[in-house]
């Protein structure tokens, strides 16, 4: 079936806040971007999403569909001019004009994902929103959104393209459908995405993010956070100090960038670690495929200040 699309030819829409992923050097498909700059395609018509324009996403975690956490950079962007969006995919769009407003961290991207889901759950008829302590919200339909904002709240989205977010401390967010995302922003919050292409992100300290589906990515940004990706092609990224990243699938990467962080990967995967001196200065970064440089499948490693992988107790 041919994809349907929404197409706009308008002036800049102030209500649209979008996000874009980049390679580490701020390139995308070979095009060099710079924060603070505006780019214009010269008035060409954006004939379909991603063709003839600059692409972006509206749901923050959809950026992981194109750029994995831990190996990429992200920014808030403002689309303008001719705009095209695909209705039966994720929230990807393309525009003739794009301003790269500000670079944002994985943690901030997660917090914005929580806010995005909450707004959708409240404003659309296919979602649920729970604001009180230990409140529960559940959405089962296609593209249904569930948001829990209070302490100890739980949010669950089971349908394809549905998103779940938990903003309060000790909150849990779970998305089971294909391309469903789960985000938890509070202290010791947990996010779990089980469907193919679903992403899980936890921004609070000691939070846990787990992605079980193929090409699902898990990101934990807070201190002591854990990120786990079990599916083929999924990446796990732990950005905070004392974090742990685990990647169980083939062609998956476990990336831990914080102080005293550790990583584990299985056969066919890889680990990426950073090391810091006693003054918390970054002194080494190293990556390796499992089976090379002494890295064995299923074992947990940290990186020494000398840039060597050292096995540690799991």
* Residues 302, 286 contacting (CB under 8 angstroms): no
Residue 125, pLDDT score: 52
pLDDT of residue 49: 57
pTM, entire model:
0.74
- Which residues have C-beta within 8 Å of that of residue 115, sequence separation ≥ 6? 165, 167
| pLDDT at residue 301, rounded to an integer | 98
How far is residue 258 CA from its own chain's centroid?
Answer: 17
> Over the chain (314 residues), what is each successive 10-residue block's mean pLDDT?
38 70 94 94 71 87 88 94 79 92 91 85 66 72 79 83 86 85 89 88 90 89 90 90 93 94 96 96 97 97 98 90
**pLDDT (0 to 100) of residue 126:** 55
**What does the block give as tokens for 26?**
């701020």
pLDDT at site 76: 98
What are the backbone angles phi and psi of residue 217, rounded to the nearest 5°? -115, 145
Cα–Cα distance list, 185 to 25, 85, 220, 274, 280 (Å): 27, 28, 10, 24, 26
Domain map (residue ranges) of the chain: 5-104, 111-204, 234-314
The pLDDT, as a whole number, for residue 47 is 57
Architecture of the domain whose range is 5-104: Alpha-Beta Barrel (3.20)
Which residue's entry shows tokens 């840039």? 307
CA–chain centroid gap for 110, Å, is: 7
> Is the Cβ–Cβ distance between 170 and 191 less than 8 Å?
no
């Amino acid at each position: 079936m041919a994809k349907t699309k929404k197409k706009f030819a308008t002036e800049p829409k102030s209500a649209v806040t979008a996000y874009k992923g980049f390679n580490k050097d701020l390139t995308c498909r070979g095009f060099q971007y710079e924060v603070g700059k505006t780019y214009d395609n010269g008035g060409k018509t954006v004939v379909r999403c991603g063709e003839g324009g600059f692409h972006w996403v509206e749901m923050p975690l959809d950026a992981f569909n194109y750029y994995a956490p831990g190996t990429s950079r992200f920014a808030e962007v403002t689309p303008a001019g001719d705009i095209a969006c695909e209705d039966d995919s994720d929230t990807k769009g393309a525009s003739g004009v794009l301003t790269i407003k500000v670079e944002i961290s994985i943690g901030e991207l997660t917090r914005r994902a929580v806010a995005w889901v909450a707004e959708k759950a409240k404003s659309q008829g296919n979602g649920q929103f729970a604001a009180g302590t230990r409140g529960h919200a559940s959405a089962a339909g296609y593209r249904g959104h569930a948001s829990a904002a209070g302490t100890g709240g739980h949010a669950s989205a089971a349908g394809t393209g549905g998103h779940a977010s938990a903003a309060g401390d000790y909150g849990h967010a779970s998305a089971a459908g294909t391309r469903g995302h789960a985000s938890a922003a509070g202290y010791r919050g947990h996010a779990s995405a089980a469907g193919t292409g679903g992403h899980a992100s936890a921004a609070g300290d000691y939070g846990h993010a787990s992605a079980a589906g193929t090409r699902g990515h898990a990101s934990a940004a807070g201190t002591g956070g854990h990120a786990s990706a079990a599916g083929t092609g999924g990446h796990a990224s732990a950005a905070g100090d004392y974090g742990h990243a685990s990647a169980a699938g083939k062609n998956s990467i476990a990336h831990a960038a914080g102080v005293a962080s550790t990583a584990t990967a299985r056969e066919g995967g890889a680990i990426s670690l950073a090391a810091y001196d006693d003054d918390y200065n970054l002194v080494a970064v190293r990556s390796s495929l499992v089976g090379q440089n002494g890295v064995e499948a299923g074992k947990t490693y940290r990186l020494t200040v000398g840039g060597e992988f050292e096995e540690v107790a799991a």
